[in-house]
Amino acid sequence: MFSLISKLIGDSNEKALKKIQPLVNEINLLENNYQNLSNSDLKNCTTEFKKRLSNGETLEAILPEAFAVVRETSKRVLKMRHFDVQIIGGIVLNDGKISEMRTGEGKTLVATLPAYLNALSGNSVHIVTVNDYLAKRDASWMGQIFDFLGLSVGCLQNQGSLIFTTDINETSTENNSASFAAVAGENLIECNRKEVYTSDIIYGTNNEFGFDYLRDNMSETSEKKVQKGREFAIVDEVDNILIDEARTPLIISGPAKDKGNEYRKFSRLAKTLKENEDFEIEIKRRSIIFTDLGISKIEENLGVENLYDPDNDVLSHFIENAVRAEYVYEKNRDYVIQEKEILIVDEFTGRLMKGRRFSDGLHQALEAKENLTIQRESITYATITLQNYFRMYEKLSGMTGTASTEAEEFEKIYKLEVVEIPTNKPTQRIDHTDLIFMTETEKWKAIVNKISDVYKIGRPVLVGTTSIDKSELLSSMLKRKGVKHNILNAKQHETEASIIAQAGKPSAVTVATNMAGRGTDIILGGNPETLNLSEEEWTRSNSEVINLGGLFVLGTERHEARRIDNQLRGRCARQGDVGETHFFLSTEDDIVKRFGGDRIKGAMNVMKWDPAIPIENNMITRSVESAQSKVEGQNFEIRKYLVDYDDVVNIQRDVIYRMRDQVLSKKDLRVMISGYLSKELQMISSRNLGVDLEERDVDLIYRELSMVFPENSDLYDKDQLSEITLEDFDNNINEYINIMFKKREIEFGDEVFIDLQKTVLLMSIDQHWVDHLTIMDNMRQGIGLEAAGQRDPLIQYKRMSYQMFNELTQRIGSTVARSIFRLAMNSNSTRSKKSNKKSSNSEKTKKQFINESESNRKLSRQERRRLERLSKKRK
């Protein structure tokens, strides 16, 4: 069955490639035409293409010519000619698919083809990279092609924004940007964020694009928004970004109440608990399950009768986080400490995730565990998953060397098809069957001996480890053996490019913690530019390494995801080079244990197998891969779970953000506010005026109306309220509202009053949206308990979130209605039209709004209690 499916997939891929081939042939036929053009004529092609598009031609119609122009420009500017397989990759990207190309096939250059074509339509093209270094490098490097053809190039960085320029000295002086330009990369200078987004081509990381989107939807004016649109994105290392990093949503947050002492207290308590006695660890979800003995011990320590009483939910949350931090999350595997700060380590790439923090108090629990300064917990102001951010693009595509194993997820989540692109030259890599040792100790001995043997003959070795701890363990063993080596892990992030540049030198030994998205090829003989080798020296080194069999890649353990193993393998045998890969495993490795490593170890003991002699068996290797496939399926379910729940919030987020955009545009503000006022007044009248006149509480009605209209509004008096009917009041609502609008317009002036309306609406929307996100997050954490009642948690979450969103919109409307006419401002300053006065008034409005909102909340609670009492009396 498996072979049949593989055959069908293969046929599908082959059909896709056959469909593309005529386009490739057409582009090749055009090559001679553009070779004969002068530089000036070649540059003018961009103007001509734009003109044709404005006259109705499609991008697909001009694709062959545009691709041929980019190829010719690259030859002249970078001395690099796109191979036919790179042209195929470019066509696949332009079709909105994933182009799977082996490491070393030149994916960075491939992206220039569809990026140029799509930028001709006048929309920005976003090229998404895995880190700031690659964004900066690619913008500076590939930017030369785009600049030659008259397109602008921008680059987003965590600590600034850059644009491409050929006149670096003059422009940088004018912008006083020497401080950042010094490390920006050739041809890049500092600029503001908004300027970057006006560029035709924009390089940046997924985090920068995503956080800019969130910040735009928190901005107080349209002018402060930077993003222009999301028409087309090309995602480099698409599996790393859209799968690995997509497990963690992007969150913008602010500090909450300081609870540092609580975290320290529970950290001390966690250290007294014992695994398998007081609690058990669920490895799959990294969660904690307390035993009855453990619960009794915790309750006794905290002095509470029931840890899981609803009143003690905060305590149970604290202790669960403290135990997870102490026993589940490991230093130098899940996080590292740098400059007294905990930095998350991406388990798939080994990179430090600077600026990212574990959510829901876990980061603070880790800080308490490591006895560091505990930063405050945060309140979420805005959040979105990477899945939902990238699904907003009208067209999305990606590149990677390893996407086939995750093809199902790409299809289900992103509607992206994976197309495998053939290599430019036939691969000569030799992949050996895995070696399985009885114990981990024997495995490490064998690894060190193998590295030492290869090192002695002068052959370069790349060693892949799965954690920082293990890379440093291996490093110490190699030092004792006298083997010179470099370490490439999260702690050496800044020097990784130079380390990789040396990895192909004769006798080079490089120990790396995962190799996803490094963005630098390992060249046999070493990188001549980085190492300053003459052509003669490099040729000699290159020949020496080739004669020894090329780069030797040694994997010390299988990763959970087959993709990561394939990425490690893919580091050798680039562009037809020779190379060899071998994985060393033990029955004590996590992934081997999952499919029965203990049984293998038991059998080896029964047979009195020599621990130093490994098993080499294809069936066991296939079993390991089967275990990896199951783990990948579990991880997919976890990510899909995240998406399913965020999809619910995503619909609500779209509504709120569209509402904010309308407010920022200042269109129909009066209509929006009048609607809120009308609903609020109808609620007040229906509660109070729909009763018999003798039962009517005039004082209560007057106070409730005073929450909407100022007490001196002269719209009504107590005598009127004692006699007016419900129908008459409702008929007069619009008249009341119009009178108050006219009064405020006269008092403040039209322009200032519009600004006041905008401020009140924004403050109300943002305030209640933040509260709503917190409530939704809390609900999601506890929704799993619905399964105990034979109810689908997701369906219950959707039902409850729909109800809560309706309540949210009601609260927003009520807050606006109870604030807009009650805000008072100094009449002289409100009529002033100077910008500094407006700014001051805006701040006053915010403060008054907050005070009014708090007052409204308290009074409304008081009035609700009074209404309840009145209702009971009537009954």
pLDDT at 118: 97
Instruction: Answer positive or negative: Cα dihedral of 627, 630, 631, 632.
Output: positive
Token match 């905008």: residue? 758
The CATH homologous superfamily to which domain 257-376 belongs is: SecA, preprotein cross-linking domain (3.90.1440.10)
The structure tokens listed for 523 are 């060249």
H or E, element range at 267:
helix 260-271
The C-alpha angle with vertex 510 and arms to 206 and 558, in degrees rounded to 5, equals 70
pLDDT tens for each residue of 588-616: 888 777 766 667 776 676 666 777 888 88
The domain segmentation of the chain, as residue ranges, is 2-249+388-420, 257-376, 428-616, 648-874
The three-class DSSP label of residue 153 is: strand
pTM exceeds 0.85, yes or no? no
428-616 CATH: 3.40.50.300
169 C-beta neighbours (distance < 10 Å), count: 10
> What's the full length of the chain, in residues?
875
pLDDT at 845: 55
2-249+388-420 belongs to CATH 3.40.50.300: yes
> Which amino acid, residue 139?
A
The low-confidence residues of the chain, meaning pLDDT below 50, are 1-9, 169-184, 492-493, 516-517, 825-839, 852, 854-875
pLDDT tens for each residue of 791-849: 888 898 999 999 999 999 999 999 999 889 877 544 333 344 434 444 455 555 555 55
Judge whether 257-376 and 428-616 match in fold: no
66-72-75-81 Cα dihedral, nearest 10 degrees: 70
Cβ–Cβ under 8 Å, residues 587 and 600: yes
pLDDT at 843: 56
Could you say which of 1.20.200.10, 1.20.1250.20, 1.10.3060.10, 3.40.50.720 is the CATH number of the domain covering 648-874?
1.10.3060.10
